[in-house]
Structure 1
Amino acid sequence: MPKVVKALETKPKPVVIWLEFQDCAGCSESFIRSTSLLPTEVLLEFISLEYHETLMAPSGDYAEESKREAIEKYKGKYILVVEGSVTPNGVYCTVGGRSNYELLKEAAENAAFVVSVGSCASWGGIPKASPNPTGAVPVYEVIKDKTVVNVPGCPPIGDVLVATIVHYLALGKLPPLDGLGRPKTFYGETIHDRCYRRAFYNAGKFAESFDDEKARKGYCLYKLGCKGPITRNACPTIRWNGSLSFPIQSGHPCFGCSEPDFWDRGFIYKPLSVVEEGIS
């Protein structure tokens, strides 16, 4: 920890360029609600956010000029954060008359590395869900010549993104990634592995409906469709809103929003055993 603190206090602030494509801005909302470091600390003290359509003061031509200047000035040094899926066909989601595909390729060319924040950028997310009318694809299918760090979730936990950037700032390298490009520290275990209701699962105690006595006693939500056993994320340990809660703690099963193509599975409230056995 002292090494991290010293790095935050003494090293030059990393430059961040943040692009938004096919998204709902929920990932940005989550980011500015991080609690390990306050958003004001992150934005004003620890990173230099040169471009973010939602958070920056300039707009229009002034905003685009600011981005162009940052790309040129910090060539090879800036971190490119991408929120939202990409449409290579050039028809949908244009900014200033330019396609998101063109904007992504331009910004990624001279980035130190790319962070796909949220399931839309990481896997294609909701825009890519069948029938995928816009032809949406994840960032890593477009950017193949640079490291792409995936921080999935719908939205992801803001602290996870902050910690990933801080790791790079403090140690000068990215955190260890798994086979899908996710930081192992946060996506190395399933929600089921970390869940405080795991003891009820092991004991065979399950809620049968959302309002029965077993649900009120906090029994496992597996039979109500919880996808915790197949979902990798840190929700049970970091949680949300200042570590106040996460969906399972609030009485709702995990539906696997940080996993690829979670929406197209189409069985949010069906138990995994039913799906695995092919029972409709």
Structure 2
Amino acid sequence: MSDYRALMARCESRLESLAKQAAVKKTPLNEKLDAAGVSRRDFMKWSAITASTLALPMQFAPMVAKAAEVADRVPLIWLHMAECTGCSESLIRGDTPTVDTLIFDYISLEYHETLMAGSGWQAEARLSEAKQQYAGQYLLAVEGAIPTANGGHFLTIGPHGHTGLDMVHETAENAAAIVAVGTCASFGGVQAAAPNPTGAKGVDKVIHQPVVNLAGCPPSEKNIVGTLMYFIMFGKLPPLDMFNRPKWAYGARVHDNCERRGHFDAGEFVETFGDEGAEDGYCLYKMGCKGPYTYNNCPTERFNHHTSWPVLAGHGCIGCSEPNFWDTMADFEKPLGRRELHSLDKTVDFVGGTLLGLTVAGIGAHAVASVFAKEEKESGDE
């Protein structure tokens, strides 16, 4: 309880300090919400849900709302490296605005190649100005892997021809906090797949400052906005797991919260795509689902306004939020069997080689045993 009191005191002090700063946006957040048809009740409901998502007590819900209202006092610089812009798409794409997208729009976004109106010299000038004007205050978000081979020249950006490697080094130097958005920025992603000719790496492998990894291809908009809100509220990074991912978002396996988990336990599996089991929503483990080896909140947060996620849509999880997933999780439509994996364990923070091998084997054995049990029951019923 004393830890929460200290956290509450830190949050109150942080928000009071931000509230004293001059507002950046001309239109207050409550007016933007009203214009979008979001009621105060809906906003407070969002605040309560966000507090719960961040693993905070409900006493923090009003603090979340206050943090959102002063979000325009926190400058955000967003760099694009070697990526597909899918992470930005995850955040902004929607047929109607959500509270999350409205909050992101309200943040003082100083530089974002895809969203900003300026380009070329004008855009680069704004980046340089923002780095000087808000030195030590801005939050840096990086989307995409960092090519390091050949001096980083596999990625050159802007009219000055800066390498992505140089841009990340220079911008990270005076950042208050750094967030790697997506698996490419976190671990290298597809760009780092063997043989990795560009030497693509995650952000934390090319700089020395602490980095929050929001892994996922793409990550949920909740994970992006939630992390931004945590920084606005506390001025620091959230508690992280062994791969520097926020525990509130990556603390449980996909398998543990999957809506198909009951079918796994009952030995009911899809044998081929489109079969009767697929129509009945059976477990996709035999079709290569990597949910038992992957830490993410996809089943609970979903995508596209909480509509769906890959497993619900009928395809197994490919483990995209794990390091080196493109190599370690292949083939994506075949079970991994007895292969050892770094993250298959009882908790996200404990890793042991023997335990990993046993657990992988145990999941495979459980799948086989549950099928036999199901068949035996069915033959007994006959």
TM-score (norm 1): 0.94
* Deviation of the 1:205 alpha carbon: 1.0
Please tell me the residue identity of whatever aligns with 1:65: A
Provide runs of 4+ in structure 1 moved above 3 Å: 33-36, 274-278
Determine if contact 1:176/1:184 at 8 Å carries over to the other structure. Answer: yes
Structure with bigger RCO (C-alpha 8 Å, 6+ apart): 1
Match of 1:133 among 197, 202, 209: 197
- For residues 96-140 of structure 1, the C-alpha deviation after alignment (integer angstroms, 9 at most, x for no partner) is 211111111000000011100011110001111111121111111
On the 8 A contact 2:289/2:316 being kept in 1, the answer is yes
Larger Rg: 2
8 Å CA contact 1:36, 1:159 repeated in 2: no
Indicate the residue corresponding to 1:160 in structure 2.
Answer: 223
Q: Does 1:213 align with 2:276?
A: yes
Distance 2:72 2:189 in 1: 34
Cα contact 2:217–2:320 (8 A) shared by 1: yes
SS at match of 2:311: coil
Match of 1:93 among 149, 155, 164: 155
Preserved CA contact (<8 Å) 1:153 1:257:
yes
Structure with the higher helix share, 1 or 2? 2
Asked if 1 retains the 8 angstrom alpha-carbon contact of 2:141 and 2:180, the reply is yes
Identity %: 50
Contact 2:100/2:222 (8 A) holds in 1: no
1:56-135 alignment runs, 5 A limit: 56-88=116-148, 89-96=151-158, 97-135=161-199
8 Å contact kept, 2:268–2:282: yes
One-letter code of the match for 1:76? G
CA–CA distance in structure 2, aligned partners of residues 194 and 48 of structure 1:
35
CA distance in structure 2 between the aligned counterparts of 1:201 and 1:36, rounded to whole angstroms:
34
Give structure 2 stretches of 5+ with no counterpart: 1-60, 341-359, 362-382
Matched, 1:55 2:119: no
**Cα separation, partners in 2 of 1:31 and 1:176, compared to 1, 3 Å:** same
- Counterparts of 2:78 and 2:112 in 1: how far apart (Å)? 5
Q: Which of the numbers 262, 266, 271 marks the counterpart of 1:203?
A: 266
AA at the equivalent of 1:90: G
Task: Give the secondary structure class of the aligned counterpart of 1:272.
Answer: coil
1:232 matched to which residue of 2? 295
Q: Are 1:39 and 2:96 matched, yes or no?
A: no
> Among residues 240, 252, 257, which one is paired with 1:177 in the alignment?
240
Match in the other structure for 1:26: 86
How far residue 12 of structure 1 moved from its aligned partner, in angstroms, is 5.3
Q: Does 1:250 align with 2:309?
A: no
The CA RMSD measured in Å over matched residues stands at: 1.7
2:76 corresponding residue in structure 1? 16
Runs of 5+ consecutive residues of structure 1 not aligned to the other structure: none
